Chain A
């Protein structure tokens, strides 16, 4: 069974304090690993897709990396508007649905 574990559950950062979020996964053949941002009461907002180990994607202050067992979402010099829950999800090669992790809730204080 596919499993996605995210850590930490919550992260409190000072503005400008860089940090990383972890997503460990077990999947029967990885079709893609996805990062989403979710604000309270809103739908997940697509950020990145990673397909193979060694791949990296960047968007503004966010950078996602992938190994064979885990993915990291690096937040560089975060701002208060980066406060959100970041969800990691995997899609196995033999399926279409996404399996999500529980998310990491990031709070950035000014």
Chain B
């Protein structure tokens, strides 16, 4: 069965640089969630989109923005990167009529 696809899988950036993370949801899923997971921590909700509109917002810094496109894929844009942004970033997708969120393999971002 098709799963959530995230790219890139690994990303190394310098402080103050920008990064773009991409997420391709499971086919026919219309809702995408972004989570950040620091070392040894549980995933923290950042932002979500339903039918290309932002549906909820969590603890996402103003330096970050995201959007969902007409093919339902989503991109998380991160600017002015800080050392503390180093983490695993997960995308999860679901169909709006379901409850279960299915997670992608994550993007490991390292900020040097």
Contact = CB atoms under 8 A, between A and B. Distances in A.
Interface residues of B, number: 24
Contacts of A95: 56
B53 to A, nearest CB: 13
A44 B90 contact: yes
Interface in B61-112: 88, 90, 99-106, 108
A20 B51 CA distance: 39
A28 to B, nearest CB: 15
B42 A31 contact: no
B96 to A, nearest CB: 9
A41 to B, nearest CB: 7
Nearest to B34: A97
Contact of B105 (A43, A46, A49, A87): A43
Contacts of B103: 36, 43-46
Interface stretch (A11-19, A60-68, A76-84, A99-107): A99-107
Interface of B: 4, 31, 33, 41-45, 48, 50, 55-56, 58, 88, 90, 99-106, 108
For the complex of A and B, list the 9 residue pairs with the smallest distance between their C-beta atoms, beginning with the closest.
A43-B103, A100-B42, A97-B45, A32-B99, A44-B103, A43-B105, A43-B106, A102-B42, A100-B43
